[in-house]
Structure 1
Amino acid sequence: MRLANEPDQSFVQVAKNLGISGPWLHRWARKLSSQGQMAFPGHGKVGLTTEQSEMKRLQRELDIARQERDVLKKAVACLGQNGRA
């Protein structure tokens, strides 16, 4: 955003130099001005909120549980086929 605030550069010029569209840069600027540091949590300066961190942890846990379930389903199917053969 500092680049876009320089007197000799426009939003369009900055966006073009960054390889993004002008409207995206405008959206990001509006979001930054309205939400401040919380506008872009994650890998930036501000970390995830407590709720976001918990959601991310639970999503990973759910993904692992689904993978384990799928492995067990395949194992049961294999054992069932071998028992009948």
Structure 2
Amino acid sequence: MRLVQSTGKSCAQIARDLVIPPHYVARWKKQWEAQEPAGRPGNTGRGIAAHSKQEERIKHLERELQIARQERDIEKKAVA
């Protein structure tokens, strides 16, 4: 679900990028949203305000890296 959050793309677009049926991504997103906030990976239950600037910076860089990887993969597919 990080792809949906970090890229801002729709579930359908993510599914097309990953070449999987769209209902899989929608179901995963629904299941992820139904989890308790403290049960989500990377969430300590303290809330966003408790995150340090360094943690926020890491998250930002991870999002940028994920987008760059997706763009690279799309370009590889286009060339092939």
- With the shorter chain as reference, the TM-score category is 0.3 to 0.5
Which has the larger Rg?
1
TM-score in terms of structure 1 length: 0.38
